[in-house]
Amino acid sequence: MLGTINPEILFLQQEDQIKAGLLDMKMILEITEETYKMLGLGQIQNPPKTHIGIPEPDSWNSFFNTMPCYIGGDYNIAGVKWAAESKKNANTPGIPYGIDISILSDPETVLPFCILDGTIITAMRTSAVAGVQAKYCAPSDTKTATLIGAGVIGETMVMSVCEAIPTLKTIYICDIDLPKAQKIAEEYKGKYEGVEIIASDDSKACAAKSELIMGETTARTPFIDKTWVKPHSAIVCVSNEADKDVALMADVKVVDYWKQMVTFKNKAIVQAFDAGEITKDQILETSDLALGKPVRTSDDQFIYACSLGLGALDITVAYKIYQNAVKMGLGSKVKMWDKPLWE
Ligand SMILES: NC(=O)c1ccc[n+]([C@@H]2O[C@H](COP(=O)([O-])OP(=O)(O)OC[C@H]3O[C@@H](n4cnc5c(N)ncnc54)[C@H](O)[C@@H]3O)[C@@H](O)[C@H]2O)c1
């Protein structure tokens, strides 16, 4: 396929991708670790995402991010995710809060060869990154996890922690909107052997009983503060749940990708860095974890990890789904042209 001058594009909608294995969290976790290893080894170009907030960059009602990358190694593909979120969607039945689309391109001819809905890929890979961080950051005997936010990412977070933390016995799934948490608890009841899933709207009380706390909410201001912090635990957030004190109190601090994170000035860990309260050498990246650098050195430590989302991971997952879909004959084909007008 690579190097072709055939201007054919395969379009993969969500249903095709699900048939091609997208809901296999074990596979997504493996791709996630592999992608972060490649990032750490310098095989991936992933400039920081660019952000357009509407109406204003910082007080947005909706936003769009562009997330371009080149993946080297055995992949040799270029790609971009056009990622968006809308507050209005959060209260509109029938449409997700976050909606994404990705393009995969041949790096030699630069022809796009696949366009995919990126919405489920985003949910799977976001929770997979948190799952990989939890695997390395949670105490070794973690039995109880509190997941805060029972939306789309909350759904995939249940899958991710169940796969990544084999010692897990209890999950509290929490949301200010209790019926949403109850719906996920019901849906996953009995799906992971030996793991009980309990819905709650009191995330702080559940967190107090948990070694692992995961944040995946749409809260615009942090609500996890120093009163939540305790030894022998980890807090892993995909959004703005934890404040700066939480980052500062952590014995080990982890981000997904510092080069990008440092450009987002509203992130708690970046505020601590910009204020001179922590230095870069106190921060581990997820590629360090995947490459085997020591993370937790004692079960008594408190560890904080956070993520912003790596475009390259959307593209490595998308490429795997594309390869599966081609083998299975899935998707619809469209053409850029029959014959290019000018060449
Ligand atoms: N780090 C990444 O790579 C990445 C990628 C995609 C999305 N995200 C973030 O994940 C978050 C969740 O996205 P989603 O698509 O699941 O949204 P969603 O609207 O489907 O779900 C969010 C849930 O959070 C709940 N919530 C809001 N404030 C809360 C609070 N204070 N306590 C408990 N629950 C609360 C809402 O009621 C809702 O059920 C968003 O902030 C999004 O920006 C991060």
How far, in Å, CA of 64 to CA of 8, rounded? 27
Do the beta carbons of residue 309 and residue 257 sit within 8 Å? Answer: no
User: What DSSP element (H or E) covers 161?
Assistant: helix 152-164
pLDDT (average), residues 277-285: 97
pLDDT given at position 3 = 73
Rounded to 5°, angle at Cα 100 from 324 and 163: 55
Structure tokens at 154: 């909350």
CA-derived radius of gyration, the chain:
20
Helices (H) and strands (E) in the chain, counts: 12, 16
Per-residue pLDDT tens over the stretch 225-274: 999 999 999 999 999 999 999 999 999 999 999 999 999 999 999 999 99
- The finding on whether 180 has its CB within 6 A of some atom of ligand 1 is yes
Q: What are the residue ranges spanned by the domains of the chain?
A: 8-121+311-335, 132-306
> The tokens 């971009």 sit on which residue?
80
57 has a pLDDT exceeding 90: no
Q: Which one of 146, 153, 228 would you pick to mutate in the ligand 1 pocket, going by the greatest count of ligand atoms within 8 A of its CB?
A: 153
Lowest mean pLDDT among 31-35, 55-59, 145-149: 55-59
What ligand 1 atom has the least distance to the C-alpha of 238?
1
DSSP state of 224: B
Q: Per CATH, is 8-121+311-335 categorized as 3.60.9.10?
A: no
Mean pLDDT of the chain: 97
Per-residue pLDDT tens over the stretch 158-192: 999 999 999 999 999 999 999 999 999 999 999 99
What ligand 1 atom has the least distance to the C-alpha of 98?
15
pLDDT given at position 111 = 96
18 has a pLDDT exceeding 60: yes
* % residues pLDDT > 90 (the chain): 97
pLDDT given at position 341 = 95
58 has a pLDDT exceeding 90: no
Q: How far, in Å, is the centroid of ligand 1 from the Cα of 162?
A: 19
Q: How far, in Å, is the centroid of ligand 1 from the Cα of 218?
A: 4
pLDDT given at position 4 = 79
pLDDT (average), residues 293-303: 97
What separation in angstroms does the CA of 302 have from each of 174, 190, 251, 254? 21, 31, 6, 12
The values of phi and psi at residue 331, to 5°, are 95, 175
- The finding on whether 18 has its CB within 6 A of some atom of ligand 1 is no
May I ask the CATH architecture of the domain 132-306? 3-Layer(aba) Sandwich (3.40)
Residue nearest to ligand 1 atom 18, measured at CA: 151
| Confidence at 306, pLDDT banded by 50, 70, 90 | very high
User: What DSSP element (H or E) covers 268?
Assistant: helix 268-274
pLDDT given at position 2 = 65
Do the beta carbons of residue 299 and residue 141 sit within 8 Å? Answer: yes
- The finding on whether 153 has its CB within 6 A of some atom of ligand 1 is yes
Which residues in 72-143 belong to E strands, given as ranges? 77-86, 98-105, 112-117
Per-residue pLDDT tens over the stretch 193-228: 999 999 999 999 999 999 999 999 999 999 999 999
Per-residue pLDDT tens over the stretch 84-99: 999 999 999 999 999 9
DSSP state of 282: G
1 has a pLDDT exceeding 90: no
